[in-house]
Chains A and B, each alone.
Chain A
Amino acid sequence: MTETHAKKILVIDDDAPIRRVIEVKLKNRGYQVITAKDGQQGLDYIYSHKPDAVVTDINMPLLNGDKLCRLTDKLKEKRPFLTLVITARISPEERAWVQKMRDTQLMEKPFSPARLVECIDAYFKRQSS
């Protein structure tokens, strides 16, 4: 239980079962997980908890995932972290704005939880090397 060294992941999704699925998958992988139920809470937690990676939905109450990415992009200058955006359909427009964001990746729904975990693992592996 050396959770102090575990990377901290923030999961933002308004859909509770999806939040829980990602949380359990990441926890079982040894990550420390915090969850937020909408974009606004997600934004607050990014400031207060300083997560090492963020997994976020796009369509959410109060604050959408794409807006959240734009608002937090500047933070990554000083403290880089991965943002994994889960979207219903990857469109060229979506690809375009995601490309402009630092350390941001897209994942299409229905996503594979196993691949999501792999994707986050791969990011930390790249970072440490």
Chain B
Amino acid sequence: MMDLRLFKDFLASLSQVFPVNFDFRDVKGQVLFSGNKKVSLPVSRGLETVGGQVTRKESFQYLRIEDKYDLFGMPILDKGQVVGVLTACDTGFEHDVSGPKIYPAHHMEQLLTHLAGLIEDKLSSLDESEALAEELAQSFEDLNLYARIATQVKTLRFSPAKLDELNKDLLESMRVQMAFAFMPNRSEYNSLITTGEIDAKITESSAFIEALINAIPPDAPALVDNYFIVNNSSQTPGYQKMHREPFRFLGVRIQYGGKFYGWLGMVSFNLKEIFRQGEMHLLISVAQQVALVISNSDLYRDLESFVINVCKSLVYAIEAKDAYTRGHSERVNRCCMLMAEHLDLDAEQQNVLNWASILHDVGKIGTPESILNKPDKLTDAEYEIIKAHPLKGYNILLPLEQLADSLPGILYHHERYDGRGYPQGLQGEEIPLYARIIAVADTFDAISSKRAYRSAKPGKEALNIIKEAAGSQFDPGLVEIFETVFHTSLVEEEQQDNTPTSITLQA
């Protein structure tokens, strides 16, 4: 029973002032509170009888016992149901034997009607407040879900895994048995989360989802607002034969800026609940968010691949100038990435090294072809021009913000561990790690491939030259790692294919 403390006090006071005892019992006859006046056993039994009658007949009852005690009962209704009985009995006799002053029964009926009305009012306002609180609680759930989803999709690179998480959240919060994203042209984003119970009912889930979407009539009015609802499949044309058990289905369009990606939807076999307005609106905004991030993610990817292609073009430009270094950048890149695997570099660091190694010789674009392809020994002046290529490369790439972290690797890839390199003569650990890695890979490839001024040396011989230079030209730790890479990966490739130039750029 709900909170009726106020009435308890009120009825207790009334019982004090008037020669009447009020009490309040539930439909099982249990007295929940009573006006504190002693009543005789017959009276108390009589009240029980009255209570029972009121509950059965659902109306005001009056009973007189022992020819003098007047007993009254009035039902308390809540949503048309008797939830309790307000009873009253005359107590005048207990104190004053001389004269019974009986209230006419209809007066008592009026009084009890008013009291019952007050209690019913209180009950229904409590009900209403509780219903409102529940509704508010549901809005809180929606808000919470929305906040979680907003955090999840607030990422530049949207991934199919994120959609799975999103569907998991939707499944739990909306108490449905199936939540899915269906994008016919972007099937990498297709996602389906179900509860165990539905797996038993639907074996061919993807076919089922496709059927759900295909059955949406193209002229359905709700489609103007980008959604479609089936509250009971057994009563919706096109959906009757999809499953022998009736289900409900809500689908919303994943759409942004006129671009349509697919559908976000949910299915439940629980027909006791329906899709609420709030849920529908929530799902529509979630679908919009999803479309927005997919669209942003696409844009970001386009931009990224544009930068990648620009960089590739730069590499091809140098290689077009210098016939001998064709494939050099790719081989150095490959060797660096193999070394990175042994260096515990994270994905971000690997990405930085990737670009630094591919682009390390971009500065040679500014070196005359006559010098690059010169078969004889270079003059001091020509050598100075060659030595300028790391700085030129650095300057060429400076405007590309995305490559900012890779620039030190390019600028310093001709520094020597003993400090006798160029352009700055950095020493030991002063040289950025990426530059130290590139130095090893770059030199190895230069020795083991054909150059204008000499022929190629076999890999083993090149390795020995590198090992001899550990500590002077190269970081000794990295030389060790290079040796491992050489034995595990490079030597095999050399045996398989004697023309290492055939390795192609992968990115």
A1, A17, A20, A114: the one within 8 Å of B141 (CB): A114
In contact, A113 and B130 (Cβ under 8 angstroms)? no
**Whole-angstrom CA separation of A20 from B173 in the bound complex:** 21
Interface hits, B126-156 → A, CB 8 Å: 129-130, 132-134, 136-137, 140-141, 143-147
In contact, B136 and A17 (Cβ under 8 angstroms)? yes
B222 at the binding interface (Cβ < 8 Å): no
Interface hits, B142-194 → A, CB 8 Å: 143-147, 173
In contact, B143 and A110 (Cβ under 8 angstroms)? yes
Which of A21, A23, A111 counts the most B-chain CB atoms under 10 A from its CB?
Answer: A21
Q: Residues of A contacting B146 with CB < 8 Å?
A: 110
A21, A112, A114, A115: the one within 8 Å of B136 (CB): A21
In contact, B134 and A112 (Cβ under 8 angstroms)? no
* Shortest Cβ distance from residue A15 to the other chain B in the assembled complex, whole angstroms: 11
* Shortest Cβ distance from residue A31 to the other chain B in the assembled complex, whole angstroms: 14
A25 at the binding interface (Cβ < 8 Å): yes
Which range holds the interface residue count of chain B? Answer: 10 to 19
Q: Residues of B contacting A75 with CB < 8 Å?
A: none
In contact, B143 and A24 (Cβ under 8 angstroms)? no
In contact, B147 and A110 (Cβ under 8 angstroms)? yes
Q: Residues of A contacting B137 with CB < 8 Å?
A: 21, 24-25, 113-114
Interface hits, A34-52 → B, CB 8 Å: none
B130, B144, B145: the one within 8 Å of A24 (CB): B130
* Shortest Cβ distance from residue A4 to the other chain B in the assembled complex, whole angstroms: 15
Number of A positions contacting B (CB below 8 A):
13
B1 at the binding interface (Cβ < 8 Å): yes
Q: Residues of B contacting A17 with CB < 8 Å?
A: 133, 136
The answer to whether A113 and B129 touch (CB under 8 A), given A17-B136, A21-B136, is no
* Shortest Cβ distance from residue B477 to the other chain A in the assembled complex, whole angstroms: 36
* Shortest Cβ distance from residue B30 to the other chain A in the assembled complex, whole angstroms: 10
**Whole-angstrom CA separation of A128 from B146 in the bound complex:** 35
* Shortest Cβ distance from residue B141 to the other chain A in the assembled complex, whole angstroms: 5
In contact, A24 and B1 (Cβ under 8 angstroms)? no
Q: Residues of A contacting B173 with CB < 8 Å?
A: 112
B138's closest neighbor in chain A, by CB? A113
A114's closest neighbor in chain B, by CB? B141
In contact, A112 and B141 (Cβ under 8 angstroms)? yes
* Shortest Cβ distance from residue B175 to the other chain A in the assembled complex, whole angstroms: 10
**Whole-angstrom CA separation of A24 from B130 in the bound complex:** 6
**Whole-angstrom CA separation of A110 from B134 in the bound complex:** 16
Q: Residues of A contacting B147 with CB < 8 Å?
A: 110
**Whole-angstrom CA separation of A20 from B131 in the bound complex:** 11
Interface hits, B76-97 → A, CB 8 Å: none
Which of B132, B137, B146 counts the most A-chain CB atoms under 10 A from its CB?
Answer: B137
A20, A111, A112: the one within 8 Å of B129 (CB): A20
A117's closest neighbor in chain B, by CB? B137
Query: 1/0 per position for A89-112, CB-CB distance to B under 8 A?
Result: 000000000000000000000111
Q: Residues of A contacting B133 with CB < 8 Å?
A: 17, 20-21, 23-25
**Whole-angstrom CA separation of A1 from B144 in the bound complex:** 32
The answer to whether A110 and B136 touch (CB under 8 A), given A1-B1, A20-B129, A24-B130, is no
**Whole-angstrom CA separation of A24 from B138 in the bound complex:** 12
Q: Residues of B contacting A113 with CB < 8 Å?
A: 137, 140-141
* Shortest Cβ distance from residue A89 to the other chain B in the assembled complex, whole angstroms: 11
**Whole-angstrom CA separation of A63 from B351 in the bound complex:** 52
In contact, A111 and B144 (Cβ under 8 angstroms)? yes
Q: Residues of B contacting A23 with CB < 8 Å?
A: 133
**Whole-angstrom CA separation of A1 from B133 in the bound complex:** 21
**Whole-angstrom CA separation of A104 from B389 in the bound complex:** 62
In contact, A110 and B140 (Cβ under 8 angstroms)? yes
Q: Residues of A contacting B132 with CB < 8 Å?
A: 20
Known pairs A20-B133, A24-B137, A112-B141; list 15 more (Cβ under 8 Å): A17-B133, A20-B129, A20-B132, A21-B136, A24-B130, A24-B133, A25-B137, A110-B140, A111-B140, A111-B144, A112-B144, A113-B137, A113-B140, A113-B141, A115-B144
Sampled A-B contacts (24; CB under 8 Å): A1-B1, A17-B133, A17-B136, A20-B133, A21-B133, A21-B136, A21-B137, A21-B140, A24-B130, A24-B134, A24-B137, A25-B133, A110-B143, A110-B144, A110-B146, A110-B147, A112-B140, A112-B144, A112-B145, A112-B173, A113-B137, A113-B140, A114-B141, A115-B144
- Closest 9 CB pairs between A and B? A24-B133, A112-B144, A110-B143, A113-B137, A20-B133, A21-B137, A110-B144, A21-B136, A21-B133
